[in-house]
Structure 1
Amino acid sequence: MTTTPARPRFTIPGLTPEQGAEVGGILQDRLNALNDLALTLKHIHWNVVGQNFIAVHEMLDPQIEAVRGMVDDTAERMATMGISPQGTPGAIVEQRSWDDYSLGRATTQEHLGALDLVYTGVIESHRAAQETTSDIDPVTEDMIIGQLRDLELFHWFVRAHLENIAGELSTSGASHEREAADSAAVGDELEGR
């Protein structure tokens, strides 16, 4: 759900205030998604248990730090455009189009399965934002492309834990976090891990 902020009194040179408001709405949606992703990654970091615990626990710290950097870049881009970024928990909850992360204490494979879907959602909506901003504001598009590069890399790190020797993902076909978590756990058992 993209929220269009109020028309700014000023924006960056080369854009109209209406274009600034349009890009600001796209960025607010990305800000919400990135803030939510950072919190979800930290939640997983605290709640992951079982085999490969330390590897997954420590893999998440650099991802959390990088995503927090993306949050800051996104909010500062909004401010540069004359838009007030809304970074409160209430803004995330009120404006998001996705459900809250559903797993608490769970195994590494269950969390990684669910996280696969989380990253898929963030990346797909980031790609849509990149496409929409490409004609309006190439500087914002460039920022989003840089974020996509890192998000896709982190997604690969997660998926490497879910992939079998044939290159198939245990979460293939899952449409909900719990379903992906269960599929990943079963896939792990079938692989004998």
Structure 2
Amino acid sequence: MAVNVKGLTDNARKTAISELNARLVDGLALSMAIKQAHWNVKGINFIAVHELLDTVNANLQGHLDTMAERVQVLDGVAEGTAEIVAKSSTLKPYPTNLTKSADHIREICARMREHGANLRAAIDATDEAGDANTADLFTAASRTADKDLWFLESHLE
């Protein structure tokens, strides 16, 4: 089993790059959905939801940047163009006809749950392939996504 300069097998490196790009694509789609909600939300709790969505998106963006940079560390190419996101995201398209905050929050929460599940699967895949550092990156992203989902779902109680 050949090991590259980063101490990873070729399989571990390729698995990590594939998982990172897949989660990057879905994360970018989620980010665009969050901004769609942020721009169009209305209701009595408008400012709280509007600002929370910005915070959730900022948290997500930080992890997406780390994922794209990790692809580079592993000698891959980060794939995050609008065309690739539209073609490759596993998240369902975000509806553009919503205005009520509860409707936006429900839609964002559904995508956040799916994103979280995908992150947890990526943790397992990269760990099993032998890249603990990428698994750790996904663990941090998953932890943040779970907390942000909790904040969002709290608005639906």
TM over 0.5: yes
Secondary structure of the equivalent of 1:23? helix
Which of structure 1's runs of 4+ aligned residues deviate more than 2 A?
A: 16-19
Q: CA deviation at 1:12?
A: 5.2
Q: CA deviation at 1:52?
A: 0.6
Kept in 1: contact 2:91–2:111 (CA 8 A): no
Counterpart residue identity of residue 16, structure 2: V
Q: CA deviation at 1:118?
A: 0.9
Distance change >3 Å, CA 55–CA 134, structure 1 → 2: same
Is 1:148 aligned to 2:148, yes or no?
no
Q: How far apart, in 1, do the equivalents of 2:148 and 2:4 lie?
A: 33
Unaligned runs of 5+ in 2: none
Counterpart residue identity of residue 145, structure 1: T
Q: CA deviation at 1:112?
A: 0.8
CA-to-aligned-CA distance 1:91-114 (integer Å, 9 cap, x gap): 111212232111434100111111
RMSD, aligned α-carbons: 1.5
Q: Give the corresponding residue for 2:23.
A: 30
Q: Give the corresponding residue for 2:102.
A: 109
CA-to-aligned-CA distance 1:18-66 (integer Å, 9 cap, x gap): 3211211111101001111111111110010112111100111111111
Q: How far apart, in 2, do the equivalents of 1:159 and 1:66 lie?
A: 16
Q: How far apart, in 1, do the equivalents of 2:98 and 2:153 lie?
A: 20
Distance change >3 Å, CA 12–CA 36, structure 1 → 2: farther
Kept in 2: contact 1:11–1:81 (CA 8 A): no
Q: How far apart, in 2, do the equivalents of 1:115 and 1:98 lie?
A: 11
Is 1:74 aligned to 2:93, yes or no?
no
Q: Give the corresponding residue for 2:132.
A: 138
Q: Give the corresponding residue for 1:57.
A: 50
Q: CA deviation at 1:17?
A: 2.5
User: What percent identity do the matched residue pairs reach?
Assistant: 29
Counterpart selection for 1:158 from 144, 147, 152:
152
Q: TM-score, normalised by structure 2?
A: 0.92
- From the two aligned structures, give the one with the greater helix fraction: 2
Q: CA deviation at 1:16?
A: 2.3
Q: Indicate the structure whose relative CO is greater, using CA pairs within 8 Å and at least 6 residues apart.
A: 2
Q: 1:173-188 residue pairs with structure 2 within 5 A?
A: none
Q: TM-score, normalised by structure 1?
A: 0.75
State which structure, 1 or 2, has the greater radius of gyration over its C-alpha atoms: 1
Q: Give the corresponding residue for 1:7.
A: none
Q: How far apart, in 1, do the equivalents of 2:50 and 2:64 lie?
A: 21
Secondary structure of the equivalent of 2:7? coil
Unaligned runs of 5+ in 1: 1-9, 164-193
Q: Give the corresponding residue for 1:177.
A: none
10-19 or 70-79: bigger deviation: 10-19
